[in-house]
Each structure stands twice: as C-alpha cells, then as structure tokens.
Amino acid sequence: MKEPGKGPALLRQYNEKHVLSFLRQQRISSRLDISRALSLSKNTISLIIDDFIAGGLVAEIGVAQSSSSGRPKIHIALQPDKMKAAGIMVERQHLHWAVYNYFSELLEEKTLIIDTADPRKVVSEIAGLCGWMHRRYPELIGIGVGFPGIIDPQSGYMHVSSHLGWQQVDILAALRHSAPLPLGVMNIVKAAALVSRQHESAAPVNEPTFYLRIAEGIGGTLITGQGVYYGGSWTAGEVGHLNVASDGPVCTCGQRGCLESLIGLSAINAQLNRLQPGLQWAHRSQAPDLVDNVIARAGELLGKALSQIIHLVNPKTLLIDCAYNLSPLFTEQVLTVARRHTLPFAYSHTHIRFLSHSYDPALGLALAMIQRHEHIEL
Ligand SMILES: [Zn+2]
C-alpha cells in the first residue's frame, strides 16, 4: 500500500482509481479478491465498493460459496455504460469518430469526408463535434483527438504534420472550451499502439513491442511496460521516413526514398495506376499479376525497414498493422528480406506478427482517455 504523501483524501482517490482500473480489466471480481490483488485492506476496499455501488458504477451480481473459508463471496461487476470515452481522428481528407463504453466496446462511429487543407477550419469542426458528443453522451469521461504528425501530448501542441501539411497548431488550446470534460491530443499511431496492450494475445504486457501502422501514412511506436516511448522530441518511431531507396520518389517531408513515399497506400495506388489507369489496391482482384509485382516490391522495402527497427530498438514483438497483410506474397517477402538483413541472433529473438484486423486509432484515443482517468499522481 502507498503511503499517504499528500493527505488521506488524495490517497483515497488514488485507491479508488486503482480499484477502477483493476475492475475494468477483470470485469467481475469480489471485495476479497480485489483486496488481495491490490494489497489493500478489506475495509478500504469495502468502503470504495460501497461508494461505487451507490453511484451505480458497480453492481452485486450473485453469491458464490467460498470452499476454503466457508464464507460466502459476493461477486461484483463494473457497469461499463456508466462511463464512456470517445476518439476523434483526422487523416488527409477524412475524419473518423467513435464512442466506446468503459470496456472499449463500440457504441457509435462515423467517418466523414472533410477538407483538411486549413487547420483552423478542421479544429473548429472538431470543437463543434466535441460539444455535440458531450450533449449526446453525458457519461463521457474524456475525448481523445488524434492526428498524424509530431505532437506533444502533454501540451496538445502539433509541431508539424507533413502528411496534412500543417505546422505549429495549438490544437488543445483551440479545443479547450468546446466541452466541459478532459480532452487529449495525440499522434494516431501512438494511440493505436495502446490497443495492442488491450489484447494480451497480440503482445505480452510489459515486453517491448514495436507497433507499425501502414495506411495513407506510415508510422510506428515502441511501447514498453512504462507505456509509449516518445523520445526526446516526440518523434521516436517515425519509421515512415526511414530511407530505404536513395533513388526513390520525393516524400511529403521533402526527402527522397522514404518508406512512406514508396509503400504508403497512396504510393501503392499511384504505382498501380501507372501500370493500368484506374487500378487501385481496393480493386486488386481486377489485375492480380500487376498487383503481385508491386506488392512483392513493397514487402522487400518493408523487410529492409524492419531490419533497421530490430537493430535499433530490439523489440520482443513487432506488430505489422497493414492492409497488404492479406497478400501471402507480401508477408513472405517481408520476412525473407528482414531475415537477410538482420543479425541472425536478433532476428531469431524477434516475433514478427502480421495483424489480420487493423487497430482503430479512435479506439486507442478513447483508451488513452480512460487510462488518463485512472491515473493520479501521488
Ligand atoms: Zn519522408
């Protein structure tokens, strides 16, 4: 048990949040099990749970006879619809939002086509959306707002987004008065990486995991037991700008041969369109041979990038979140080239996983707000 540094009220609040977090992960428990798991006295837990029950946050759901002590054990369950969280994400020319309950179960979502050229216009649309969401879902405990780009999540300030063509936008300051609840601003890939922690089977908790997302843009992040690693200026994991072909095309960042400019979804569609006008990844069944050639080359380039990532950060698990995972030729090329370019010891100790379903950054943004809600500094 933590010692009360700043008074009993704060300690009580800390313990409440700790119990809340435990119940979110366990869903069903008992006062005794919580007291054992968190090393807090049975009395402390009982007072907290009684308050939660009075507030409708927790319900007693039945009695089980405990065989060891002979005393009955009352099962309690967190009521996930009493607290909700939302995520709003922006990518080039579109906005996607989603609302979840406290167990991260989807309640409502929508994707809109918007003009993302003017940051002030987009941020003002988001402000309107936050206000509307707060009225529609009074149980919201926070809204996470995400963008591609270099963002300081503490201040909610975007330094630059080459993908959107934005620079120096004080996003949180512009949103602050849109709704009377906590708002957070972060990078969408770093938010999506949090979802991997939600699925224990995808990546074991506390082991260093590198999450790599290939969509319109490409980004990645290292996530450890301490959470997302941001680096010295929030750019750790920006693997979309790893140089993988010095004679490659010019990237949105102005450099040549960046991974994103070669295998991001726009880049792949542009290559397919050159081979056969109108051909897109989404319509790949129309010309499978042409698509195979392009996607095999994309796999080679990603394999090269993975070897750089493995050497640099040595993750235990590398999660690839990418639509091309559907192509066996792609995944095979990635592994072949990554193996060829990586120290055998490092390669053989890295678990490379191709996700079959993409993580929704909106879910990660909502989850970040739930984690923030459960966090309290002592
Ligand atoms: Zn670049």
Alpha carbon 301 to its chain's center: 24
What does the pLDDT read at residue 5? 55
pLDDT value, residue 173:
96
Per-residue model confidence as pLDDT tens for the chain (378 residues): 445 456 788 888 999 999 999 999 999 999 999 999 999 999 999 999 999 999 999 999 988 766 566 677 899 999 999 999 999 999 999 999 999 999 999 999 999 999 999 999 999 999 999 999 999 999 999 999 999 999 999 999 999 998 899 999 999 999 999 999 999 999 999 999 999 877 766 667 788 999 999 998 899 999 998 889 999 999 999 999 999 998 889 998 899 999 999 999 999 999 999 999 999 999 999 999 999 999 999 999 999 999 999 999 999 999 999 999 999 999 999 999 999 999 999 999 999 999 999 999 999 999 999 999 998 766
CA 63/CA 52 separation, integer angstroms:
18
CB–CB of 85/9 below 8 Å?
no
Please check whether the domain covering 203-354 is classified as CATH 3.30.420.40. yes
Query: What is the Å distance from ligand 1's center to 98 Cα?
Result: 29
**Pick from 131, 122, 134, 118: which is nearest to 90 by CA?**
122
Contacting residues for 120 by C-beta, under 8 A, at least 6 apart: 174
3-state secondary structure of 225: coil
The one-character DSSP state at 240 is: G
Q: How far is the CA of 112 from the centre of ligand 1 (A)?
A: 27
- Backbone angles phi and psi of 167, in degrees to 5: -140, 140
CA of 355 to the centre of ligand 1 (A): 24
Q: Separation of 167 CA from ligand 1 center, angstroms? A: 15
Task: Tell me, letter by letter, the H, E, C secondary structure of 71-133.
Answer: CEEEEEEECHHHCEEEEEEEECCEEEEEEEECCCCEEEEEEEECCCCCHHHHHHHHHHHHHHH
Instruction: Please report which helix (H) or strand (E) contains residue 249, including its range.
Output: none
Query: How many whole angstroms from 165 Cα to the centroid of ligand 1?
Result: 12
d(CA 87, CA 80): 17
In sequence order, what are the beta bridge partners of 212?
A: 220, 320
- SS3 of residue 336 by DSSP: helix
- Residue 244 CA to ligand 1 center (angstroms) comes to 11
Dihedral angle sign, alpha carbons of residues 38, 40, 42, 46: negative
Q: How far apart are the CA of 63 and the centre of ligand 1, in A? A: 59
Query: Residue 132 C-alpha to ligand 1 middle, in angstroms?
Result: 36
pLDDT for 99: 98
User: Whole-model pTM?
Assistant: 0.91
Q: Identify the pLDDT of residue 225.
A: 86
For residue range 149-192, what is the model confidence (pLDDT) as tens digits? 999 999 999 999 988 999 999 999 999 999 999 999 999 999 99
CA atoms within 13 A on the CB side of 73: 18
Q: Give the strand pairing for 209-214 and 317-322.
A: parallel
**In sequence order, what are the beta bridge partners of 84?**
101, 140
Domain boundaries, the chain: 8-78, 83-193+361-374, 203-354
Residue 352, strand partner residues: 318
DSSP symbol at 369: H
Q: Provide φ and ψ at 243, rounded to 5°.
A: -85, 120
Residue 177, helix vs strand vs coil: coil
Q: Tens digit of pLDDT for each residue in 40-56?
A: 999 999 999 999 999 99
Tokens of 198: 């939600």
Q: CA–CA separation, 115 vs 91, rounded Å? A: 10
Cα atoms in the 13 Å half-sphere on the side-chain side of 209: 29
What's the N-to-C CA distance of the chain in angstroms? Answer: 12
Phi-psi region of 227 (alpha: psi -120 to 50; beta: other; left: phi over 0): left
- In one letter, which amino acid is 139? E
Ligand 1 centroid to 249 CA: how many Å? 10
pLDDT at 28: 92
* Domain spanning 8-78, CATH class: mainly alpha
Task: Assess whether the region 83-193+361-374 and the region 203-354 belong to the same CATH fold.
Answer: yes
For ligand 1, the distance from its centroid to the CA atom of residue 163, given in whole angstroms, is 9
**Residue 1: its pLDDT value, please?**
46
Q: Domain spanning 83-193+361-374: which CATH class is it, in words?
A: alpha beta
CA distance 208 to 227: 9
CA of residue 216 to ligand 1 center, whole Å: 13
pLDDT at 206: 81
Tell me the CA distances in angstroms from 117 to 121, 123, 147, 162, 163, one per residue in order.
8, 11, 13, 12, 11
Q: Give the per-residue pLDDT at 4.
A: 47
Q: Maximum distance among all alpha carbons in the chain?
A: 75
Nearest 10 degrees: Cα torsion 244, 246, 247, 252: 70
Structural element, H or E, at residue 147 = strand 140-147
261 C-alpha to ligand 1 centroid (Å): 7
